[in-house]
């Protein structure tokens, strides 16, 4: 008998030679059926592996993220096996599990079509049905290279050559198919429930655009049909929330062929935007910021001085004025530097918080444009804070708190990343280390978990990024806090210290929305177009039952307008049902239905968006309720 330590610390005795699968089955019939992989001392192992004594084991099922990853990873091997059967000349690259599914990259002359995906799926079903055992095998480095060279898999050979030569290489076999793989995997191909291939797209080998572009097939898999159906339905629902679709339907914003990447804001979208900016202004005034506006076009010499000419040129637009070179600003910082330098500053002014809603233009490559999320001109809700070195941590904490307050107002959860010195950077390593330490310290004080992104900082300093997700689960950077020791140097910023000497201030750049355009795109998807009343372009829509109610409607509308409520009147000769439908489709928070009863009793019938008829209220009651809801920003 050998003792196994379970998750809860208890000891389970199993017989010599038993596998992890036997242990799982021994614990409970259900676990034996549902266990996908064993987690032994924190490391995932195949269920077929022999159970080892005195080790702490737990079992992952599809309910666990790790179980799902293994499940999808084996699914990707199913895909690869099917492709090799149908297209033997296809070369295998890599095929990992990803969030919600898996992919596999292939190199082949044939370009996969959606019809091919159906055929590949059929082949995968055969492989599943055959229920091949998935068998792990370990080879030496040389044996592995020889094996994949013989199989004609150059990408696999390249991968093995990147591995340490003195270590064993693991491979997995299922039927006639063999793949280089770290594992672990499900015990057999029949363990995969239902799967679907979703799309095919190009992807660079090893993620570098210098390398060959391969073909990537995306798919997903679930144990039960109802789960995959639910997943596919969720994706459909997400598409309905796409801000590009809603922007068009609700007449908020759009882009035209005449200006790829340069979005238009229509009157209704502009209303939301102005509300966002109004909220932003009042919060910044409260937090001690002053607002400036710097010009969109500035001279070449400025951009050379700021480093943008050397480090950011490929993203900038240029023009000539009277034979001199100018550039359209891709960032607001140099403008803020010029503002700072327009007079002498004292340490007593610090921290000096200078905010700017600055319109920047950046040349983005055509393939990356995406509605309002990725555009060629956008408005950063920027601010530059000038301060003493000892004020850094407090100021960063202040900005983190402000970002949190903003995102909470909209009901967002977010992810934080810290990015360090990139290859193409200005400034010494010492300066960078100091800056990174300051950012880390602020995050530690706030106890915010974050992901470290080595080498992902801006060319002038490290940054803390705040990421929000769109309706399809894609993540977009919005807020960012960037420490900058470089620009104060380049622009020779100074202040008069308490001992009367000139010193160098420290500066941070920060944005909260990030880009107002992107933020509005994300907001649109977040609310599915049903904006809370403080943001809704039309807050109340007044509907008449018949033409004789027009006068009463106009009178009420006038009173609501005087209260600062955004209203529309629909007094067309249409049925009430038709007008209500239209109001609901336009996602107006409140509809007021006015007919004989309301005129008679001098009331309004209130219909709340997506809830329905709320009954009759006096106009004053309704106004009070609406104003309360607007001020609550809910």
Partner RNA sequence: GCUGAUGUAGCUCAGUUGGCAGAGCAGCUCACUCGUAAUGAGCAGGUCGUCGGUUCAAAUCCGACCAUCAGCUCCA
Site for RNA, residues 484 to 503, rule: CB under 7 A: none
Mark the segment that binds RNA (CB under 7 A) among 49-57, 162-170, 438-446, 457-465: 457-465
One residue of 226, 319, 546, 631 binding RNA per CB under 7 A? 546
Q: Contact between 349 and RNA (CB under 7 A)?
A: no
Q: Contact between 371 and RNA (CB under 7 A)?
A: yes
Q: Residue 25 or 477: which CB sits closer to RNA?
A: 477
One residue of 456, 489, 568, 629 binding RNA per CB under 7 A? 456
Burial of 34 (0-12, 13-18, 19+ CB in 10 A): middle
One residue of 92, 420, 598, 623 binding RNA per CB under 7 A? 598
One residue of 48, 275, 465, 484 binding RNA per CB under 7 A? 465
From 72, 185, 284, 384, active-site residue? 384
Q: Contact between 612 and RNA (CB under 7 A)?
A: yes
Q: Quote the crossing angle between the two packed helices 392-409 and 429-445, to the nearest 10°.
A: 50
Residues 6+ apart with CB under 8 A from 582: 570
Q: Contact between 369 and RNA (CB under 7 A)?
A: yes
Q: Residue 255 or 431: which CB sits closer to RNA?
A: 255
One residue of 200, 328, 464, 565 binding RNA per CB under 7 A? 200
Q: Contact between 576 and RNA (CB under 7 A)?
A: yes
Q: Residue 147 or 200: which CB sits closer to RNA?
A: 200
| Longest alpha-carbon distance in the chain | 93
As measured in angstroms, the least distance from the Cβ of 589 to RNA is 12
Q: For 255, phi and psi rounded to 5 degrees?
A: -120, 150
One residue of 191, 216, 268, 566 binding RNA per CB under 7 A? 216
Do 101 and 69 form a contact (C-beta atoms < 8 A)? no
As measured in angstroms, the least distance from the Cβ of 436 to RNA is 16
Q: Contact between 380 and RNA (CB under 7 A)?
A: yes
As measured in angstroms, the least distance from the Cβ of 356 to RNA is 14
Do 300 and 324 form a contact (C-beta atoms < 8 A)? yes
Q: Contact between 408 and RNA (CB under 7 A)?
A: no
Residues 258-317 that bind RNA (CB under 7 A): 260-261
For residue 471, say if its preceding peptide bond is cis, omega within 30 degrees of 0: no
Q: Residue 289 or 378: which CB sits closer to RNA?
A: 378
Nearest C-alpha neighbor of 124 from the set 46, 219, 37: 219
One residue of 72, 73, 463, 510 binding RNA per CB under 7 A? 463
Q: What is the DSSP string of 92-132?
A: E----EETTEEEEEEE-SSPP-HHHHHHHHHHHHHHHHHT-
- As given in the structure block, the two tokens for residue 576 are 């009430």
As measured in angstroms, the least distance from the Cβ of 3 to RNA is 45
- As given in the structure block, the two tokens for residue 94 are 């890599």
**Opening angle at CA 63, ends 234 and 11, nearest 5:** 175
Is position 362 annotated as part of the catalytic site?
yes
**Opening angle at CA 468, ends 219 and 529, nearest 5:** 90
As measured in angstroms, the least distance from the Cβ of 359 to RNA is 11
Nearest C-alpha neighbor of 462 from the set 440, 443, 488, 492: 440
Among all residues, which ones are annotated catalytic? 333, 362, 380, 382, 384, 463, 509
């Amino acid at each position: 008998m050998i003792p196994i330590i379970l998750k809860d610390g208890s000891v389970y005795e199993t017989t010599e030679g038993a596998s992890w699968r036997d242990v799982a089955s021994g614990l409970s019939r259900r676990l034996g059926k549902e266990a996908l992989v064993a987690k032994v001392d924190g490391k995932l192992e195949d269920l077929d592996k022999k159970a080892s004594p005195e080790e702490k084991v737990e079992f992952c099922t599809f309910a666990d993220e790790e179980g799902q990853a293994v499940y999808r990873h084996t699914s990707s091997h199913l895909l690869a096996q099917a492709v090799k059967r149908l297209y033997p000349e296809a070369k295998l690259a890599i095929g990992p599990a990803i969030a919600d599914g898996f992919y596999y990259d292939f190199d082949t002359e044939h370009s996969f079509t959606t019809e091919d995906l159906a055929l590949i799926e059929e082949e995968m079903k055969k492989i599943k049905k055959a229920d091949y055992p998935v068998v792990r095998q370990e080879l030496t480095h040389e044996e592995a290279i020889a094996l994949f060279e013989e199989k004609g898999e150059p990408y696999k050979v390249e991968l093995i050559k990147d591995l340490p030569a003195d270590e064993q290489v693991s491979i997995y076999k299922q039927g006639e198919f063999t793949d280089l793989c770290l594992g672990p995997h499900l015990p057999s191909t029949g363990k995969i429930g239902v799967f679907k291939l979703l799309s095919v797209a190009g992807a660079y080998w090893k993620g570098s655009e210098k390398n060959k572009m391969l073909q990537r097939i995306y798919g997903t898999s679930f144990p039960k049909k109802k789960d995959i159906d639910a997943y596919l339905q969720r994706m459909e629902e997400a598409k309905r929330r796409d801000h590009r679709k809603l922007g068009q339907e609700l007449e908020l914003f759009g882009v035209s062929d005449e200006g790829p990447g340069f979005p238009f804001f229509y009157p209704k979208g502009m209303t939301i935007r102005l509300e966002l900016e109004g909220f932003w202004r009042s919060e910044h005034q409260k937090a001690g910021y002053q607002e400036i506006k710097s010009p969109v076009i500035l001279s070449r010499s400025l951009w050379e001085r700021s480093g943008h000419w050397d480090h950011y040129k490929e993203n900038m637009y240029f023009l000539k004025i009277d034979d001199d070179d100018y550039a359209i600003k891709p960032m607001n910082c140099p403008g803020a530097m010029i503002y700072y330098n327009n007079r002498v500053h004292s340490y007593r002014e610090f921290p000096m918080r200078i905010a700017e809603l600055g319109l920047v233009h950046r040349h983005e490559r055509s393939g990356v444009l995406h509605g309002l999320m990725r555009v060629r001109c956008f408005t950063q809700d920027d601010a530059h804070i000038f301060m003493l070195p000892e004020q850094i941590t407090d100021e960063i904490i202040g900005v983190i708190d402000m970002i949190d307050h903003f995102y909470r107002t909209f009901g967002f959860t977010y992810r934080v990343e810290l990015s360090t010195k990139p290859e193409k950077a200005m400034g010494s390593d010492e300066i960078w280390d100091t800056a990174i330490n300051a950012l880390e310290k602020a995050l530690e004080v706030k106890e915010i978990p974050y992901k470290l992104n080595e080498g992902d900082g801006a060319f002038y300093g490290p940054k803390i990024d705040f990421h929000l997700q769109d309706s399809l689960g894609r993540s977009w950077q919005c807020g960012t806090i960037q420490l900058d020791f470089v620009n104060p140097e380049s622009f020779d910023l100074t202040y008069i210290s308490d001992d009367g000497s000139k010193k160098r201030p420290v500066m941070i750049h920060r944005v909260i929305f990030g880009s107002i355009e992107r933020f509005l795109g994300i907001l649109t998807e977040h609310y599915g177009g049903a904006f809370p009343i403080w943001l809704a372009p039309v807050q109340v829509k007044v509907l008449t039952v018949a033409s004789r109610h027009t006068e009463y409607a106009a009178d009420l509308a006038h009173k609501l307008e005087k209260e600062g409520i955004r209203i529309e009147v629909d007094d067309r000769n249409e049925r009430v049902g038709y007008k209500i439908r239209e109001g609901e489709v336009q996602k107006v928070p409140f509809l007021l239905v006015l007919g004989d009863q309301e005129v008679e009793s001098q009331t309004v019938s209130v219909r709340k968006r997506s809830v329905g008829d709320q009954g009759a209220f006096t106009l004053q009651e309704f106004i009070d309720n609406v104003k309360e809801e607007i001020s609550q920003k809910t």
